[in-house]
Structure 1
Amino acid sequence: MRYALQILILTLITVYAWRRAGQTEKRGALVMACLLLASPLYAALGAKPMRFEQMDMGYLVIDGLVLIAMTALALVSGKWWPLWFAGAQLIAFLSHFVRLLATSYAPFAYALMMRAPSWIQLAILALGTWFAVRDRRVTGATAF
């Protein structure tokens, strides 16, 4: 149910971004879609069900690749929100190393640290898109 809600929210943000916002917001929505679709695709390809008792290399790779994409977006954009977007992804990425280094780390805490940033990223993407649309309306600018 939570995953379906995330997909619905991302779909609404993506449609809004593609119709009204700039390239940065469109690219951010695309990266977020890749993140949300990669996990079930990885699971469908035969990954063990995520139990959070140990680090999963597949999810580490997914989070690492998405972190690279989000950081690249932040570096080429002149906007504030892609940096926050990448920062939230850094939390998800580092959660895997916390799990690896702290074997006594509670599985629930690992799951929360790994999954909660995606909700934060949706909020950041929505705010960034809204601000971009507002700025375009006010200034008529078509910022990157």
Structure 2
Amino acid sequence: MWRGGPPERIAAWGMIAASVLTIFAADPDGYVQVEYAVLAIDVALLALLVALAIVADRRWTLWAAGFHLVGVLTPIAFMLSPTAIRFAYAWMQGFWAYPTLTALLAGTIAYRRRVKRGTAGRSWRPFSRRSARTRPAVPPAG
């Protein structure tokens, strides 16, 4: 969180907030049924990661959003098949956090390497032709 650029910091704070909120929203009995409060938190984090993937000049954001999307789809699959094994649902629900965090870690490492080389470039994508012309052309960041 302290070593990344603005997109990495925003994602890290979003993931921390989602983790803390999930602790309070989760049912202590766990995985008996779909937990809609946890699903809402996951959807909010997905919205943040998708927004970062759209506006940040980073490749890792797309990977993180994709991994988290699979995690969000897990309870939806459980809704469609409530007879599924609770262990499989619990395992799949938590599993996708690790690839999402790994994408953030890889993006932070890539950013630090670019800073060290002096080629960090911009953090955000230009959204107009004018802003694209006024900034130097930098290849998309990690």
TM-score (norm. length: structure 1): 0.78
Any idea what the Cα deviations from partners look like across 1:63-121, whole Å, max 9, x if unmatched?
A: 11111111101110121101111111111111111110012211111111111111112
Per-residue deviation at 1:41? Answer: 2.6
The match for 2:110 is 131
Pair 1:121–1:76, CA change in 2 (3 A): same
The match for 2:6 is 23
The match for 2:78 is 99
Given the alignment, which residue of 16, 22, 36 partners 1:33?
Answer: 16
Given the alignment, which residue of 122, 126, 137 partners 2:101?
Answer: 122
Secondary structure at 2:12's aligned position in 1? Answer: helix
Q: What is the distance in 2 between the residues matched to 1:133 and 1:79? A: 13
The match for 2:65 is 86
Secondary structure at 1:143's aligned position in 2? Answer: coil
Secondary structure at 2:10's aligned position in 1? Answer: helix
Per-residue deviation at 1:139? Answer: 3.0
Q: Give, as a single letter, the amino acid of the residue that structure 1 aligns with 2:17.
A: C
Any idea what the Cα deviations from partners look like across 1:10-67, whole Å, max 9, x if unmatched?
A: xxxx23x2xxx31111111111111211111324xxxx32421311111111111111
Gaps of 5+ in 2: 124-142
Q: Give, as a single letter, the amino acid of the residue that structure 2 aligns with 1:116.
A: F
Q: Give, as a single letter, the amino acid of the residue that structure 2 aligns with 1:113.
A: M
Identity %: 28
Q: Does 1:57 align with 2:36?
A: yes
Q: Give, as a single letter, the amino acid of the residue that structure 2 aligns with 1:130.
A: I
- Contact kept? 2:5, 2:111, Cα under 8 Å: yes
Moved over 2 A (4+): 139-143
Q: Does 1:77 align with 2:56?
A: yes
Counting helix residues as a fraction of each chain, which structure ranks higher?
1
- Contact kept? 2:111, 2:120, Cα under 8 Å: no
Q: Which has the larger radius of gyration?
A: 2
Given the alignment, which residue of 79, 90, 95 partners 1:111?
Answer: 90
Q: What is the distance in 2 between the residues matched to 1:30 and 1:117? A: 18
Gaps of 5+ in 1: 1-13
